[in-house]
Structure 1
Amino acid sequence: MTPFGEAVRRLRLRKGVSQKQMAAALNLSPAYLSALEHGKRGLPTFDLLQRIAGYFNIIWDEAEELFLLARFSDPKVVIDTSGLSAEHTAFANRLALCIRDIDEPLLTKLTELLEIAEKAHGKRS
């Protein structure tokens, strides 16, 4: 599951609707909505993000958070290290090899380190 998929599922359950009902309201197939919730589809389009926000009638801050979660929810990430050092490329490849073996405590620590790096370079997480 992706962060975006989890958020959509929480919103859907909070509203008390099934995937089938939500899919019909958004003019999507239930299979597509299920795949989106389970992280088996790529990033939703901006149009779909807006329709989802409208469907749940969420306020700007919550909609912005949902859009940000979508940005960080692509299940098939590509890291372009061209022009970077050999160490950067090796790191990206090693991460790809072991990502499934990273447990929750280590994932939390790595996420904290990334947030520090993002703040230091003026990038928003």
Structure 2
Amino acid sequence: MSVSPKEFGKELRKLRKEKKLTLTELGKKIDLTQAYLSMIENGRKGIPNSDTIKKLAKGLDIHYTQLMEMAGYEISLIEAFKGVVETPKKVIEVSLPAMGKEETGDGLVAYGQLTDDELRRRLFDLHELLNMDVDLYYKNEFLNDDNRQKIKTMLQTLFE
């Protein structure tokens, strides 16, 4: 679909005003000048390139494919879903037992300090997780020892 720079600018202005942003405020958010944004909105700068459209979308807090379509660009399905499926990562603090217990072949038990890598591995290893002395939940239901044992039995049946 072909769209004129004036039509694109008019729609862009409408979106900006819906977000209650001035040209100056939007410009500061995305590092573009108020004058340049004004030229885009008045159709005097042509249709912006995809990089500028991505900046505009970020400043307006909308998915860039909405603006790309508005500008008349064709978008592949992969591009359309890029960013929708990806979620930002959040760092959280989790307290885990810092000592590991290992049984040797002759029945002895050895204890030792776990490395950061070993703690990370254990955090995502179902066997280790089910054997840890931490509260576990499934769909907000606390897993007691009986529940944990049932889960371990099911996993052993599936994988061993």
Higher helix share: 1
Q: Which has the higher strand share?
A: 2
Larger Rg: 2
TM-score normalised by length of structure 2 = 0.39
